[in-house]
Structure 1
Amino acid sequence: MNIIPAVDIIDGQNVRLTQGDYDKKTSMKRTPEEAVQFYSTFEQVGRIHIVDLMGALKQNALETTVIGKLKSLTDRPMQIGGGLRTLETIETYDEIGIDYFILGTRAIMDIDWLKEVVRLYPGRIFVGVDARQDDIYVNGWTENSNITIDDYVSEVEDLELAGIIYTDINKDGMNQGPNFENTKRINELTKHTVIASGGVRNKADLEKLESTGIDNAIVGKASHDDAFWEGIE
């Protein structure tokens, strides 16, 4: 299992939201810098997941300076999401050495734009499919796109993506475990690598995901708890 710990940033601070609600913000004990350095000590951490939360809400990248510093602190690949709506923003992150780019809202709503970005950055684009039931949500999880998971996955099947990140919004930050059934179903729908996100609590959840054919998981709130890392090399 490739563990991808998450660092979510607001105003340079390491925070977590519950179900994507900006009014339910919790500060984490480690700064973003401390978190990145801590995660980099584990062999099973294949990448580090950084989200510019206000960038997602304001539709513009706001934490490029902080993220550039974080990249300098680790030898692990880094994937960035939140506010990536233009080629210029992606180019900025590319210039500071970011390895992978997570595209959400615009990639969901504008397939032609996504195709152009993938052409320019083949194998480096993840699309973020954030859903309640089968409806994909956009703009920081605040709006229903009126596009279903199945329809969208079919639309992007032939693109040279790095993968699809599936988040069950209702599971995110709730300490209830991920949506195993839907993650497995999506994995069976597509040739793309599917990354589980939202709700992973412990090693048992990772093992259950692995048993369903998922070998990449983003771990958010649980990754900030030292107990999560016990027994993980």
Structure 2
Amino acid sequence: MKIIPAIDLIDGQNVRLSQGDYNKQSRMKKTPQEALEFYAGFESVQRIHVVDLLGALKQEALESNLVKELIGQSSLPFEIGGGLRSLETIKQYHKIGVEYFILGTRAITDVAWLKEAAELFPGKIFVGVDAKENDIYINGWTENSGILIDEYLETVEDLNLAGIIYTDINKDGMGLGPNFENTARVNNMTRHKVVASGGIRNKADLDKLESLGITEAIVGKASHNVKFWEGIK
């Protein structure tokens, strides 16, 4: 199982939200720089997942200077999400060394644009499918897109994507475990690699996801707890 620790940013600070609620944020003990140094010590950490939370709301890249600094600090590949609504923004992040790009809102509502992005950066685009039950949410998880997961996956099946990042919003940041059933269901719907995200607490959760055919998982709040890493190389 490949672990992808999350560093979520607001005003340069390392924070976590509960269920995507911007009014329920908590600051992590480690700064982004300290967290990155810690994660780099584990073989199973394959990438670093960075989210520009305010960028997601304001639809623009707000943390590019800090992201550039973090990339300079580590040899690990980075994936970035939050506010990537134009090819110009993707190119801007690519220029500073970001390797993978997480596209959410516009990728959900404008598949023609997603196709263009995937052709420009083949195998480098992850689509963030953030859902409550079967409904995909957009705009920083504040709005129901009116699009269902199964319908959407059919429309992107033939694109050259890096994968689908599936997040159960109701599980995210709650420490109650991921939605195993829906994660497995999404994985069985598509040929694309499905990355689990949201609610992962411990190695047991990772092992169960692996038994369901999931090979990568984004870990947020739990990754800041030293106990999470016990038994993980």
TM-score (norm 2): 0.99
- Specify the SS of the correspondent of 2:231: coil
Q: Matched residues, percent identical?
A: 67
Match of 1:136 in 2: 136
More displaced 10-residue stretch of structure 1: 1-10 or 32-41:
32-41
- Once the two structures are superposed, residues 33-80 of structure 1 have per-residue CA deviations (whole angstroms, 9 ceiling, x without a partner) of 111111011000011100000000111110000001011111111100
Task: State the 1:190 CA deviation.
Answer: 0.5
What residue identity is the alignment partner of 2:61?
A
Aligned amino acid, residue 120 of structure 2:
L
Moved segments of 4+, more than 4 Å: none
Q: Distance in 1 between matches of 2:153 and 2:77?
A: 25
Distance 1:77 1:99 in 2: 6
Distance 2:73 2:185 in 1: 37
Q: How far, CA to CA, are the matches of 1:230 and 1:68 in structure 2?
A: 30
How many angstroms does 1:231 deviate by? 1.1
Which residue matches 1:204?
Answer: 204
The runs of 5 or more residues in structure 1 that have no matched partner are none
Partners of 1:226 and 1:73 lie apart in 2 by 21
Alignment of 1:120-131 (within 5 A): 120-131=120-131
Residues in 2 aligned to 1:231 and 1:209: alpha-carbon distance in whole angstroms: 16
Match of 1:170 in 2: 170
Q: Which residue of 1 aligns with 2:214?
A: 214
Aligned to 2:115: 115
| Equivalent residue, structure 2, for 1:82 | 82
SS at match of 1:35: helix
Equivalent residue, structure 1, for 2:14: 14
2:27 alignment counterpart: 27
Q: Which sections of structure 2, spanning at least 5 residues, go unmatched?
A: none
Deviation at 1:168, TM superposition (A): 0.1
The corresponding residue for 2:70 is: 70
d(CA) in 2 for partners of 1:80 and 1:158?
Answer: 23
Question: How far apart, CA to CA, are the structure 2 residues paired with 1:179 and 1:155?
Answer: 24
* 2-structure distance, mates of 1:76, 1:63: 18
Letter in 2 for 1:71: I
Which amino acid in structure 2 is aligned with residue 121 of structure 1?
A: F
For 1:70-104, what per-residue CA distance to the aligned partner results, in whole angstroms no more than 9, with x for missing partners? 11111111100000000110001000110100000
Looking at structure 2, the residues matched to 95 and 59 of structure 1 have their Cα atoms a distance apart, in angstroms, of 19
Equivalent in the alignment of 2:193 = 193
Deviations 1:119-147 (A, max 9, x none): 00000000000000000000000000000
Equivalent position amino acid for 2:59 in 1:
Q
For residue 71 of structure 1, give the secondary structure of its aligned residue in structure 2.
helix
**Aligned length, in residue pairs:** 233
Equivalent position of 1:41 in the other structure:
41
Q: Which residue of 2 aligns with 1:156?
A: 156
> What secondary structure, in the 3-state scheme, does the structure 2 residue paired with 1:62 have?
coil
In the alignment, the residues of structure 1 paired with residue 102 and residue 72 of structure 2 have an alpha-carbon distance, to the nearest angstrom, of: 19
